[in-house]
Amino acid sequence: MNAAETENGADGGPMLLELRDIAVEYGAVRALDGVSLGVRRGEVVAVMGPNGAGKSTVLKAVMGLAPVVAGSVHWRQRLLAAATHEIVREGIAFVPQGRRVFTHLTIAENLEMGCLYLNDRAEKARRLDSVMELFPILHQKRRDLASQMSGGQQQMLALGRGLMASPELLLLDEPTLGLAPIIVTEVFQKVAEISHRLNTTIMVVEHNIKGVLNIVDRAYILDKGAVVHNGTPQSIRDTDILTQVFLGSG
């Protein structure tokens, strides 16, 4: 992608979130090396690649959770300089890998943790009702402890908790990791529903290539900390880039 495409998006629309020439180093290891990518308002964009490619580090760089040594992150065409705990107020919610629900709290209490900063009780109740409407299982089990939920149900809870912040952009890190195939399909369907019903912009890091390509508008492929390809799902299927990156052939 050239500089003009990075700034304005492949179809000329402005990027809602944009990483410009980001480099991240963990000690002597450079996890990202000059990575430029972004997502436009209303899009669902995937970040894919083999283990160690730097996928999750992309999301951590946005959230201020990675040691960025070069480049910049821009939100709504302005430099994103907020501290990690303030980024949710900017309109960005992060659902980390591994679900990380509070097992000693009820489902309803877990959801409320997603908007701790919100003091408006009526608005908090409205958001709670909205999320439970989107995830009926959470409404059914709202008084149960999160520890009583299955892995798939906990992932739905993690998604719902992210939505409690009423984000403009939802960052998802490996939402299907460790889930049974039938639950993987359900999670992808729910991500697509969040995009369509709530018009939420989504950037998702995902290892399940086939499943994620069915729900995204565009995808970036990383290898060894660099973007090696980006385009529509069909453009990716029409090339052998996935074989080259994942199998090292070509």
Per-residue pLDDT of the chain (250 residues; tens, 9 = 90+): 333 344 444 455 899 999 999 999 999 999 999 999 999 999 999 999 999 999 999 999 999 999 999 999 999 999 998 888 889 989 999 999 887 899 999 999 999 999 988 889 999 999 999 999 999 999 999 999 999 999 999 999 999 999 999 999 999 999 999 899 999 999 999 999 999 999 999 999 999 999 999 999 999 999 999 999 999 999 999 998 988 888 875 4
Q: What is the pLDDT of residue 85?
A: 84
Tokens of 217: 């508008």
Q: Per the domain annotation, does 21 fall within a domain?
A: no
Decide: helix, strand or coil at residue 34.
strand
174 CA to centre of own chain: 8
What is the domain count for the chain? 1
Does residue 22 lie in a domain region?
A: no
- Alpha carbons 32 and 26: distance in angstroms, whole number: 10
Predicted TM-score of the model (pTM)? 0.90
Q: Say if 209 falls within a structural domain.
A: yes
How close are the terminal C-alpha atoms of the chain, in Å? 21
Task: Decide if 154 is inside a domain.
Answer: yes
pLDDT of residue 117: 82
Q: What letter represents residue 218's amino acid?
A: R
CATH classification of the domain holding 110:
3.40.50.300
Instruction: Tell me which residue range forms the domain holding 161.
Output: 42-63+80-247
Does residue 126 lie within any of the structural domains? yes
Tell me whether residue 20 is in a domain.
no
Residue 235 included in any domain: yes
Residue 113 lies in a domain: yes
Helix (H) or strand (E) holding 73: strand 68-75
